[in-house]
Amino acid sequence: MRKVFSGFCVFLLMAASHAHAGGVDDLGWLAGCWTMSKDGRVTEETWLRPAGGIAVGVGRTLRDGALRQYEFMRIDVQNGALTFTAIPSGQAQASFPAISQTTSEIVFENKAHDFPQTITYRSPGPDALYAAIQGPVNGNPRTIEFTYNRCEAK
């Protein structure tokens, strides 16, 4: 029994070292200007460093130099939970509470939203940012991935 208990304690310590129940101030890795180019489309996100209990971001997508969409974003605490709120062009605002957070990744989810239902941000390194949106489209699962590189804010 003692071996089982010791093994369980080691497992809990290992899990705790990977899991992280942080807050908005732990999202400094998200701050900066990020860009991705693919098939004539340029997608950009810029996030201010978290301060005052909020991280504020803005994104836009251009196709062949013309604006296609933009979005205002924030991450703050709402109803006791760290929450991503998006205000996309031409659509209603939507909020997604965090369901997991580590020192380099955060996942938000709102199963009541149409698409997306899950939003993931991950830092694979200081000059890269991975983001993904997931959810059903016409009854089929869909994932859209964004592999950003750091850029200079202009």
List per-block mean pLDDT (blocks of 10 residues) for the chain, which spans 154 residues: 43 40 91 96 97 98 97 97 97 97 97 97 97 97 97 79
According to DSSP, residue 27 is labeled G
pLDDT for residue 97 = 98
Provide the domain limits for residue 57. 22-151
Q: Give a yes or no: residue 28 inside a domain.
A: yes
Q: Give a yes or no: residue 135 inside a domain.
A: yes
The total domain count for the chain is: 1
Cβ(29)–Cβ(123) under 8 Å? yes
Distances (CA, A) of 64 to 34, 37, 68, 70, 101: 18, 11, 10, 15, 36
pLDDT for residue 22 = 78
Q: Give a yes or no: residue 14 inside a domain.
A: no
Q: Give a yes or no: residue 16 inside a domain.
A: no
Q: Give a yes or no: residue 121 inside a domain.
A: yes
Q: Which residues contact 120 (CB under 8 A, 6 or more apart)?
A: 105, 106, 107, 108, 130, 131, 132, 133, 134
Q: Give a yes or no: residue 7 inside a domain.
A: no
Cβ(109)–Cβ(99) under 8 Å? yes
Q: Give a yes or no: residue 4 inside a domain.
A: no
Q: What are φ and ψ of residue 114, in 5° steps?
A: -70, -70
What is the domain-level CATH number for residue 108?
2.40.128.20
Q: Give a yes or no: residue 2 inside a domain.
A: no
Across the strands, what pairs with 82?
A: 77
pLDDT for residue 7 = 44
Across the strands, what pairs with 150?
A: 34
